[in-house]
Amino acid sequence: MMPIEIFFSYSHKDKPLMDIVRRQLIVFEREGMIVKWYDGEILPGQELEGKISEHLQHAKIILLFVSSHFIESKYCYNKEMLEALKRHEKGEAKVIPIILRPCLWNDAPFGKLLALPEDGKPLTKWRNRDEAASNVAEGIMKVVRELSGAVKPSSETETWKDAVVKKNEINSQEK
């Protein structure tokens, strides 16, 4: 299975909150299921806008880390978000809004999409932010499994690892 590239669109003012979610996805990156990319990976001397555009065009999942800072940012809103939604509408990528802070996002162009964390409750409104970020990561990984064609868990309580083990058992029995 080829890893699914995930693009992070966020306001730099929200980087600490974005990082909480990013860290929850590290295990999936180490397992080779995903490749995460955000502008913090641009090396000195590389063209900033060119690298962002390149990764935005190749990502299969685009995460919009939504807050009033994101909505206020002309670059996030007018460049990254609009391009992401064009790709989403063409079926080239999946866009997932991640609500970081309370803001009026429902009337934004991405307001029609199901947001994370669960019920679109802002990450900062959860009692435990790690729990909220874990909820976001689980939702993202459901989309990753769908895009990769991996075995989907048969019940809500079955984890993705259980599904992978089950798939491996089936494959070894077929050989």
Average pLDDT on 142-161 reads 66
Q: What is the mean pLDDT of residues 113-122?
A: 95
Tell me which residue has tokens 């065009």: 57
Q: What one-character-per-residue DSSP string does 102-125 give?
A: ----TTSTTTTSPPBTGGG--GGG
Phi-psi region of 139 (alpha: psi -120 to 50; beta: other; left: phi over 0): alpha
Tokens coding 80:
């990254």
CA distance linking residue 9 with residue 26, whole number of Å:
17
Residue 162's pLDDT is 52
| pLDDT tens-digit readout, 47-60 | 888 889 999 999 99
Q: Does domain 4-174 have CATH number 3.40.50.740?
A: no
Residue 23: both structure tokens together: 């860290």
The predicted model scores a pTM of 0.83
Tens of pLDDT, residue by residue over 85-108, are: 999 999 999 999 999 999 999 999
Mean pLDDT of 137-142: 96
The structure tokens listed for 69 are 């800072």
